[in-house]
Every structure is written in structure tokens, then in C-alpha cells.
Amino acid sequence: MAVITTTRRSERFRRTTPPTCTYWLAGRCNRNPCRFSHSSPTLPSNAYYNGNTTYKHSKQPTNCASKALEKPANRAPMAVVSVEKPTKCEPMAMSDEKITVCGLEAVSVEKPTKCEQKAVLIEKTADVEDVDTVVAKAPVEKSRSICKYWMTDTCVHGDLCQNLHSWFYGDGFSTLAKLHEHKKAVTGIALPAGSDKLYSGSTDGTVRAWDCNTGRCLGVINLNSEVTSLVSEGSWIFAGVKNAVKAWNIQTGADFTLDGPMGQVLSLNVGNDILLAGAEDGVIYAWRVSSDPKAESPFELVATLSGHTKPVVCLAIGCYKMLYSGSMDHSIKVWDLDTLQCTMTLNGHSEVVTSLICWDNYLLSSSSDCTVNVWVCTEEGILKVAYTHTEKNAVLGLYGMTDAEAKPILFCSCKDNSVRIYELPTFLERGRLFTRQEVQSFEIGPNGLFFTGDGTGLLNV
């Protein structure tokens, strides 16, 4: 009868206890509350000892429970107890019959070699006198992937999550400030030389001025049109909007509108005393400072550079007074800034050319085809790809600077909301930045400072 009674109790216990969550066991359950149990499954009622002092267990105990448990004499039945991960394991108080393990009472065991900070679950059935195994879970090893649930503030694992809950990892870099006033993506950052202000443009239709010392927003310029590019030259700030380029002089406060472009102005650059704007219609527009002191605008449109068949996404100024333009037509064109004529067309990408930077005698280009090409000039004066670096996701932008040891560092913004940090020319990874949305703008500052703007409107220092 004792066996029948025990069996019925076990059956009733199994009916009232929900099954253990398999996702919780794998450390991936994100439901709170979860309709399954978040505790180790209870052993069946036939897990009795076999006539000696050693119990049969489905898993071998580890660390704090590394020895076989001895059968307690005349011990009162105990209920199932589930304990979360303790913050610190207290020293073990030894006695003849029992010990205290991380603040929990358990039966007598031999002294373990080490009590680590691990989650301890002790389960004991109410209808049998034996004690189940003490299960110790090993610390979760961190992967190098950002937690997608943390990105949306829904991760329930906290510090136990196997994925990263961080904005950054790597050596030699740290986050100083986060400026979050823009409502939409930050698409341009400008730091005028000799100024103590930082300027940022956004698709929310505003340009904001920030105090570089306090991080406070000092002013907002409402343009009522998406800002898709921003550059500075001397005392001038230029913002690319739809069908125009807006210009402000930060010393005099004068502002002007440069008409001419058709569609959204996606890229801006200044070289050889020429303001260049790449537009949605595939044309590059060029302005010079007007020689007429009585002109309404201090800038005059001097040329339109046609050749691309789709929008011009990026512009870069290189040595020998050369302009490089990247387009959605998958090509890179090389222009002579003295004659404003196209001298070469480069076809090294199979998707949109997203970014261009010039570094010494090298040209680096990125594309939605997940590659970064390093171009060098041959003796014949032709640019050829010397090396191709491949990413797992589309590359959105390239930005370069030197570290404290004067080593060239390349920042590579990718579609997976990360920025890879590489040491050139080896492309050895130095670290990564993580953002909730993709980084769309970047700017280098003095004393090793750099700024990133992402799709949420956050400006990081």
C-alpha cells in the first residue's frame, strides 16, 4: 500500500506541476510570464537508493555537490525550493549532519573544492525521504552578437543573457556622452574648425547646434525638409535638402539657399574652393564663391557634372585635385577638379556604392554588396583593386582616423547596427560599436574624439 500511495501522490504532483520550459533550459526564453516552469524538472518517484548510501541521479552533481549525497536519518520531508542566482556565495559552515551552501540548508556532503557564483537549484519531493541532486548551472559565455531583445528593451535574461547588452567593446575607446534630441536619423555631423560648437542634421528636418563643453543643445534650425547631408568649410555650414543646399555663416548669421539640384541632395563635399553636391538626379552640382560683391548670394553655380545614371550617394576629395563619386548605378567616377571632367570610371562593386574615403594614395570604397575595396594607382595611372575585405552584412559607411599611437583606424558601419573598428592595413578588428539602429553619420574631432549619429536620432561622443 505504501508503494501505491506514493505512486498516486507522484501522479497528482505531476498533474499539478507544469512541464519545464525547454527554451528556459537553453537560456533563450523571453516570455514573462511563461506558462511553463522555470525550474529543473523533478526526478521521478522511483529514484530511490539501491540499498547503499549512493543515490541514482540523471545528472552528476558539479562543484558544490560533487560528492554523492548520504541518506539522512529521520529527516522531515521538505518541499521543492527554487533559488535564483545568489550575488555572493557565503563560506560553508561545517557540522556533523548538515552544511550551509550559499545560504541554503542541505544534507551532509564532503567539503567541495570551490564554491563558484552559479545558480543553485535544490529540489526535494514531499512524498519521499530522499533528496534530489543539487544542480549547478555554469556561467553563460558571452557571444559577440548584440541581443535583439535588448535592442527593443524586451530581454528578460539581464546579465545572464548570452548575447551582448552593451554599446561597445574593444580596447582604447570609450563612450563619453550621448546627445539625444533629434527625433529621427542623424544624417550629418559637422565640427567647424576653430569653433566650440558641433552641428548635426537629421531627417526630422532640423539642424542642431551643440556646446562641445557641456553637451547642451544651443539652438535648432527648422528647415521643414529632410536633411540628408551636412558639411562645414571655414565659417560656413552647408545642409543638403530637397532641390537645394542651405548655407549658414556661423560668424555673421547670414543664411542662403543654393538652388539648382533636382531631388534630394544626398552628399556634400568641399575641395579646390568648390562646393560639390551629389543629387538624386545623378548630377553633381558645383558652386564657387561669387566674384561679384553685389550678388544676392555669395555662391554661384559654375558647373554640373553629368555621367551617373542613378543618384550620387557619396563624394570624396583625393590627392592630385581629384574628385571621386559613388552612385546607386554601382559605379565610381573620377573627376578632375581643375577641368571638372570625368577621367575614369571604376566598376568594382555589384551593388550601390555607399561610401568613399581617400587615405594617402589609396581609395577605399564600400558597397551594399558587403565588400570594402582598396584601390591603388598603377604605373599606367589606372586605379585597380588591390584588396577586398568582406563583411557579413551590407556596408553603409567608411570613416578613418588615427589612434593615440598614430596607427590608422578604419570605422566600418554595417547594416546589422554595428560599427566595426579595424586597424589598417591588416584589417585586424580592434572592437565594435553597437547601436539600436544603423549608424548613418560620422565625424572626427580633436584629441581623439569622434562622433556617430544613428537612425534613432542619437548622437554619441
List per-residue pLDDT tens for the chain, 461 residues long.
444 444 444 444 444 567 888 777 877 787 778 888 887 655 444 433 344 433 333 344 444 434 433 444 444 444 444 444 444 444 444 444 443 333 334 333 344 444 443 333 333 333 433 434 333 444 455 666 777 787 677 888 877 888 776 666 676 677 788 888 899 999 999 998 888 899 999 999 999 999 888 888 999 999 989 999 999 998 999 999 999 999 999 888 889 999 999 999 999 999 889 999 999 999 999 999 887 777 788 899 999 999 999 999 999 998 888 999 999 999 999 999 999 999 999 999 999 999 999 988 899 999 999 999 999 988 778 899 999 999 999 999 999 888 878 889 999 999 988 889 999 999 999 888 888 888 888 888 887 888 889 988 888 88
DSSP track, 212-264: TTT--EEEEEE-SS---EEEEETTEEEEEEEEEEEEEETTT--EEEEEEEEEE
Phi-psi region of 350 (alpha: psi -120 to 50; beta: other; left: phi over 0): alpha
How far from the centroid of its chain's Cα atoms is residue 366's Cα?
18
In 155-167, which positions are buried (b, 16+ CB within 10 angstroms) versus exposed (e)? bebeeebebbbee
- Going by the DSSP 8-state scheme, the letter that residue 320 receives in this structure is G
Q: Which of 183, 271, 270 is nearest to 227 (CA)?
A: 183
Residues in the chain: 461
**Beta partners for residue 198, in sequence order:** 210
In angstroms, the CA 191 to CA 230 distance is: 10
Q: Which of 114, 86, 113 is nearest to 102 (CA)?
A: 86
Residue 216, all three cell numbers: 547642451
In angstroms, the CA 363 to CA 160 distance is: 43
* The CATH fold of domain 166-460: Methylamine Dehydrogenase; Chain H (2.130.10)
Query: Residue 142 CB: number of other CB atoms within 10 A?
Result: 13
**Beta partners for residue 278, in sequence order:** 267, 284
> Is 414 strand, coil or helix?
strand
Sequence-distant (6+) residues with CB within 8 A of 360 are 319
Q: Which long-range contacts (CB under 8 A, 24 or more apart) does 222-226 make?
A: 226/187, 226/264
The pTM assigned to this predicted structure is 0.66
In angstroms, the CA 55 to CA 288 distance is: 88
Sequence-distant (6+) residues with CB within 8 A of 218 are 197, 209, 210, 211
Residue 20, all three cell numbers: 519545464
Residue type, 330: H
**pLDDT at position 168, please?**
67
Domain ranges of the chain: 166-460
Q: What is the DSSP pairing of strand 450-454 with strand 458-460?
A: antiparallel
Residue 439, all three cell numbers: 549608424
Residue 194, all three cell numbers: 576653430
| Max CA distance (Å), the chain | 111
How far CA 141 is from CA of 27, 91, 159, 162, 372, in Å, comes to 11, 26, 11, 6, 31
For residue 2, the number of C-alpha atoms closer than 13 Å in the C-beta half-sphere is: 4
